[in-house]
Amino acid sequence: MSNVLSLAQERIERLNEKLKLEYGYFQGSPAPNWRVVWSEDQFEKRYGAYEDRTPEGYLIRRVNEVREVPKYRQWVHNKYILERMLADISHGGEMVVKTTYEPVYVFENPENQPPIWDAIKYIVELVYEQCARAVGIPYVKYQEPEDAEAKRIKAIQDELYGDRTDVSDALAYKEGIVVPSNFEGKK
C-alpha cells in the first residue's frame, strides 16, 4: 500500500511542478499560484471560540484564540483538491493583506487517483477566462500556429536522424562512395 501512496505523491509533486512552471508564483513570493493537495493533509489557523473538554466530555475551559484546525476534513474526505492562492484584503483600522490557498475544485473519482494534467489545465484556464470576462477584458489563450507542430516534429527528426537526402541515404546503406574534394584522379 505504501508503494501506491508514494507513486501518488510523486505524481502530485510532478503536477505541482508543472503548475509552478505553467502558472508561476503569487506576486513574486515563493508560493505558487496553484497547487493540488490531499484534503486530509491540510490545516489552517483560525481564530475562534473553542471549548476544551475531557475525554468524558466535561468542560475544562472556554477560550477565544487562534488554533490550527483541519481545513477540509469537515466537508471533504480523502479527495484531491485544486487550490488557488488569493489575497484577502480586510479593512479593520489598518489594511491587512494576507494570502491563503482557497479551494477551486474537488476531484471526485471513486479510486481517489491523482488528477490528470489535462483536467487541471482545463480548470485553471477556465478560471482565468471567467475572471477576464468578469472585468470585461478579452482572454486570449496562447495558440501555436498550425504548422508549429510539424516544424517541431521535423526539428526532432533532424536532430535524431540528421540530413536525410539521397546521398546520405546511399552512404548509410553502403550504396554510394565518397570522393574527397582534394582527390586527383588518375587515368
| Separation between Cα atoms, residue 64 and residue 128, nearest integer Å | 38
Pairing of strands 59-70, 43-53: antiparallel
pLDDT category of residue 171 using cuts at 50, 70 and 90: low
**Grid coordinates given for 171:** 552512404
Q: How do the domains of the chain map onto residue ranges?
A: 1-40+75-143, 145-182
| Separation between Cα atoms, residue 89 and residue 181, nearest integer Å | 75
Residue 6 pLDDT more than 90? no
For residues 134-160, give the mean pLDDT: 71
pLDDT tens profile 87-96: 876 655 454 5
pLDDT tens profile 9-67: 899 999 999 999 999 999 878 999 999 999 988 888 888 888 889 999 888 889 888 88
> Are the beta carbons of 113 and 141 closer than 8 angstroms?
no
pLDDT category of residue 75 using cuts at 50, 70 and 90: confident
pLDDT category of residue 163 using cuts at 50, 70 and 90: low
pLDDT category of residue 7 using cuts at 50, 70 and 90: confident
> Are the beta carbons of 127 and 102 closer than 8 angstroms?
no
Q: What is the pTM of this model?
A: 0.64
- The backbone torsions φ and ψ at residue 161, rounded to the nearest 5 degrees and listed phi first, read -115, -5
- The backbone torsions φ and ψ at residue 169, rounded to the nearest 5 degrees and listed phi first, read -65, -45
What does each C-alpha distance from 39 to 67, 76, 82, 110 come to in angstroms?
18, 7, 10, 15
